Amino acid sequence: MHIMEGFLPAEWCAFWYALAIPVLIYGAWKTKKEIERDPKAKSLLAVSLGFIFVLSALKLPSVTGSCSHPTGTGVAVVLFGPSVTAFLSSIALLYQALLLAHGGLTTLGANTVSMGIVGPFFGFIAYKALKKFNLTAAFFSAAAVADFMTYVVTSLQLALAFPASPGMEGVMFSAIRFLGIFAVTQIPLAIIEAFIAVLLLRSIRTYSPEVISA
């Protein structure tokens, strides 16, 4: 779920950038280490990045100033963890902003926090919690939870910038309202994305079982 160019006030754009940048620096370092550890990881990084780029570019109009779409981060977070996923997501978001007018440069920090950092982090927790019991369920949950939490964070970002009234009550009221509107499109998208992610991850596991086990 992207917030579009110029929609957030400048102070909130700066705030979300400040949160995103340290994570992205660490994610870039982790990505470099991953490649140094195993040069073959380049191909899986490319697949993960392509999956994020293609799925998150499939947008549906939503609340004014935003759009609903799959995130594609579930595959990357299973293969490489949250920090690398954040870095890959930021690359996909940057190219979408520059080439597709999807999202924006001013809102890149906010979109990275929601789609690239917080969503995948919770997806990774879901994956780790279920991995020992059922791998397919773990794959599904990683993608679905990452997508779902992205829209939760986006709702909060919009509510903080545009509260219904001053104070936390106004923020919470707006967040709940945004959540209710987004749910119409985002929950079905999260489920569809999770099925696609399962198919891709099971294919990767078939041909490279050591990747998932690692």
Confidence category of residue 206, pLDDT binned at 50, 70, 90: confident
**pLDDT for the residue numbered 181:** 78
Residue 109 near residue 152 (C-beta atoms within 8 A): no
CA 60 from centre of chain: 16
pLDDT in tens, 67-89: 667 888 999 999 999 999 999 99
Alpha-carbon gap, residue 92 to 106, rounded angstroms: 15
The CATH number of the domain holding residue 93 is 1.10.1760.20
Range scoring the smallest mean pLDDT among 18-27, 52-61, 141-150, 205-214? 205-214
**pLDDT for the residue numbered 60:** 66
* Residue of higher predicted confidence among 207 and 175: 175
**pLDDT for the residue numbered 14:** 94
Residue 112 near residue 8 (C-beta atoms within 8 A): no
Confidence category of residue 213, pLDDT binned at 50, 70, 90: low
Q: Which residue segment(s) compose the domain that 140 sits in?
A: 2-212
Range scoring the smallest mean pLDDT among 70-74, 187-191, 208-212? 208-212
Q: How many domains does the chain have?
A: 1
Residue 47 near residue 75 (C-beta atoms within 8 A): yes
Find all residues with CB under 8 Å of 185, minimum gap 6, and list them: 60, 62, 68
pLDDT in tens, 20-69: 999 999 999 999 999 998 888 888 999 999 999 988 887 765 555 456 67
pLDDT in tens, 118-127: 999 999 999 9
Alpha-carbon gap, residue 151 to 39, rounded angstroms: 34
* Residue of higher predicted confidence among 211 and 129: 129
Is the predicted pLDDT of residue 16 greater than 90, yes or no? yes
- CA count, 13 A, side-chain hemisphere, 34: 24
Does this model's pTM top 0.95? no
